[in-house]
Amino acid sequence: MVVKPDDGPLCTCGKRGCVESLASGDAIGSRARERLTSDVTTPSSLREFAPDQLTGKAVGEAAVAGDALAQEVVTEAARWLGLGIAGVANVLDPDVVVVGGGVPEMGVPFMRPLEEAFRAYATPSVAKDTRLAPAQLGYDAGVIGAAAAAFVALGVLGPALNQEDVSDGGS
């Protein structure tokens, strides 16, 4: 989903400014490398990393630990994702948007600006009624979901969740 078409980073899909190119773990690592190169004066614990070790996870951990530059990079990424989610939610009006993958696992430094951007860009009714929630299965949610779908297709498992489980937030 393109959210920054004119001067966004080149995405692996060939387009510019996809959410993936702005808010994924790899994007956060790249953006931190750019910031550290273009701004050589702001102190940051990230300067201790070799460029190839400056991953999204490392930036996330620095943000959680209070590193201001890391927090700026994470906030920027979260805002782009919030804009993308608001665009989808404005059309689909879901009750809940579950945010999975490794990046949301850093918690507040990512989820708070994500939530703020989502509320800012969503229509008033969506901003009021749609909830954002981190995936309870975290980074492995996709793999576990794929395995569960295979087991259901093979008849090994019944449907994974009933409606009550979903409204409880699942497990």
Alpha-carbon distance of 71 to 78, in angstroms, equals 10
The binder of Zn ion chosen from 5, 10, 13, 51 (CB under 5 A):
13
Q: Which part of the chain contacts Zn ion (CB under 5 A), choosing from 15-23, 38-46, 85-93, 131-139?
A: 15-23
DSSP-derived secondary structure letter, 130: P
- Site for Zn ion contains 92 (CB under 5 A): no
Which residues within the stretch 18-77 sit at the binding site for Zn ion (CB under 5 A)?
Answer: 18, 20
Options 6-14, 33-41, 73-81, 151-159: segment touching Zn ion (CB under 5 A): 6-14
Between 4 and 57, whose beta carbon lies closer to Zn ion? 4
116 backbone dihedrals φ, ψ, rounded to 5°: -65, -45
Size of the site for Zn ion (CB under 5 A): 5
Q: CA-based Rg of the chain, rounded to a whole angstrom?
A: 18
**Residue 102 · residue 139 · CB < 8 Å:** yes
Q: How far is the CB of 14 from Zn ion (least distance, A)?
A: 7
Q: How far is the CB of 7 from Zn ion (least distance, A)?
A: 15
Of 16-24, 82-90, 141-149, 156-164, the window that binds Zn ion (rule: CB under 5 A) is 16-24
Q: How many residues are recorded in the chain?
A: 171
Please say which residue, 1 or 133, places its beta carbon nearer to Zn ion.
1
- Please give the backbone phi and psi of residue 100, each rounded to the nearest 5 degrees, phi first: -110, -170
- Applying CB under 5 A, does 11 fall inside the site for Zn ion? yes
Question: Can you tell me the distance from the alpha carbon of 32 to that of 53, in angstroms, rounded to the nearest whole number?
Answer: 11
The first and second tokens of residue 14, run together, are: 């060939």
| Residue with Cβ nearer Zn ion (20 or 67) | 20
CA–CA separation, 57 and 55 (whole Å): 5
Residues that bind Zn ion (CB under 5 A): 11, 13, 15, 18, 20
